[in-house]
């Protein structure tokens, strides 16, 4: 079995998380339709403004040319390759199979209903870290398989496979994924991870070049506690008003409040990995959606632990929260049996 090198974290977890998120400055972002956003031209419109919305590897650095050769970009079909037509990332796990997020291929329409993106609506850019026409190979899509348990309004089981119509004609490598046992070893607090993707940089300007950021696995329960504390802080004023209006006494109010908080679902399920930094400023957001979260191994290789699923946004709803401490990533190891089943059934 490959070995990984855990990184010990120097700061106390509780004190690092609670104050920053309890103030209500950020909240979980549920962003619908990366494909529709790019296809409609809204990404291009917003990228021209300082308040542009979209995704980025926050606090990252430019990736070296040829680095992360499994990274791919999902691009609106029939359009020039560029920052305005790229809507999600992905990773090559086999010669003709791309791993990405389900919310990249299952979109919310204007009327609130959900629909699946069709294979002919996008292409996959392979072999280039630069979103520039003429670079890499644009590969047609043959089929799309989203996890059957994924629901558009719930970011659980946020995983999908894209089958390419042919092997890429540009240099690439595939990335290994862990089984459940090895995934449990990877998903330990302090393990170093690297997230890669394109999108907005500081100042909300899109980046045509692939970026990377080194972050660490963080304890999911502590991430959940921090987010629940932030949600409670947002909700408490409304609850106090309702309790006073209804004439509830202090004792009853506390009991009802405690029960409400206890019944609230945890934002990060067991199918998600929490990764970020204690100091914040290094994380991912929705435009990096579908891209890989990889773990460096002692033998110099890498293994994919997660898929970019969702992050934190400012309360305005625009851009990514640059002080966010963490983002959520689909735990790939939980879905290996499903991945194998889909690939075996679609040779």
Return the pLDDT at 206: 60
Find out whether 253 and 266 touch, Cβ atoms under 8 Å.
Answer: no
Return the pLDDT at 35: 60
Cα gap 84→87, rounded to integer Å: 8
Find out whether 122 and 77 touch, Cβ atoms under 8 Å.
Answer: yes
User: What φ, ψ does residue 122 adopt, rounded to 5°?
Assistant: -145, 160
DSSP string of 108-156, one letter each residue: E-TTS-EEEPPGGGEEEEES-SB--TTSSEEEEEEEEEE-TT-BTTB-S
Return the pLDDT at 32: 46
Return the pLDDT at 96: 98
Does the pLDDT value for residue 145 go beyond 80? yes
Percentage above 70 pLDDT, the chain: 73
Return the pLDDT at 166: 98
Cα gap 113→107, rounded to integer Å: 8
| Burial label, 256 (beta-carbon count in 10 A; 0-12, 13-18, 19+) | middle
For residue 343, name the pLDDT band (cuts at 50, 70, 90).
Answer: very high
Return the pLDDT at 80: 92
Torsion of CA 10, 14, 15, 17, to 10 degrees: 100
Rounded to a whole number of angstroms, the CA Rg of the chain reads 20
Return the pLDDT at 277: 60
* Segments in the chain forming alpha helices (H): 13-22, 34-39, 42-47, 180-186, 220-245, 250-263, 336-345
Cα gap 96→168, rounded to integer Å: 8
Cα gap 268→217, rounded to integer Å: 13
CA neighbours within 13 Å on the CB side: how many for 24?
7
Return the pLDDT at 17: 28
Tokens at 227, concatenated: 């987010």
Cα gap 3→94, rounded to integer Å: 23
Find out whether 320 and 56 touch, Cβ atoms under 8 Å.
Answer: yes
Q: Which domains does the chain have, with CATH numbers?
A: 13-345 (2.40.10.120)
Tokens at 87, concatenated: 């809507």
Mean pLDDT of 152-160: 88
Return the pLDDT at 264: 85
Cα gap 292→307, rounded to integer Å: 5
Among 8, 138, 151, which residue's Cα sits nearest to residue 79?
A: 138
Mean pLDDT of all residues belonging to the chain: 78
Residue identified by tokens 């059934």 is: 345
Find out whether 122 and 88 touch, Cβ atoms under 8 Å.
Answer: no
Is 89 or 319 the better-scoring residue by pLDDT? 89
Find out whether 329 and 214 touch, Cβ atoms under 8 Å.
Answer: no
Q: Which pTM does this prediction carry? A: 0.77
């Amino acid at each position: 079995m490959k070995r990984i090198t855990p990184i010990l974290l120097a700061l106390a977890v509780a004190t690092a998380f609670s104050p920053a998120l309890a103030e209500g400055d950020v909240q979980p972002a549920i962003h619908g339709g990366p494909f529709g956003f790019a296809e409609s031209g809204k990404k291009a419109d917003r990228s021209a403004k300082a308040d542009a919305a979209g995704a980025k590897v926050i606090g990252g650095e430019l990736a070296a040319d040829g680095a992360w050769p499994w990274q791919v970009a999902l691009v609106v079909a029939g359009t020039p390759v560029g920052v305005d037509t790229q809507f999600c990332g992905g990773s090559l796990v086999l010669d003709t199979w791309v791993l990405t997020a389900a919310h990249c291929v299952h979109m919310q329409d204007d009327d609130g209903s959900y629909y699946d993106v069709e294979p002919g609506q996008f292409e996959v850019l392979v072999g280039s870290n630069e979103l520039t026409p003429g670079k890499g190979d644009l590969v047609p899509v043959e089929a799309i398989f989203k996890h059957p348990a994924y629901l558009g309004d719930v970011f659980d089981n946020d995983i999908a496979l894209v089958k390419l119509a042919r092997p890429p004609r540009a240099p690439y490598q595939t990335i290994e994924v862990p089984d459940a046992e090895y995934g449990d070893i990877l998903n330990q607090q302090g393990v170093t991870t690297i997230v890669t993707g394109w999108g907005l940089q500081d100042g909300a300007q899109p980046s045509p070049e692939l970026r990377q950021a080194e972050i660490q696995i963080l304890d999911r329960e502590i991430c959940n506690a921090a987010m629940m504390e932030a949600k409670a802080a947002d909700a408490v004023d409304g609850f106090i008003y309702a309790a006073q209006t209804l004439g509830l006494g202090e004792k009853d109010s506390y009991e009802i409040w405690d029960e409400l908080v206890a019944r609230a679902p945890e934002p990060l399920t067991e199918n998600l990995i929490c990764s970020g930094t204690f100091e914040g400023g290094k994380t991912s957001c929705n435009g990096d959606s579908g891209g890989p979260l990889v773990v460096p191994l002692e033998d110099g290789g890498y293994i994919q632990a997660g898929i970019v699923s969702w992050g934190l946004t400012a309360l305005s709803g625009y851009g990514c929260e640059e002080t966010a401490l963490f983002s959520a990533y689909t735990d790939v190891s939980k879905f290996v049996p499903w991945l194998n089943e889909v690939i075996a059934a679609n040779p």
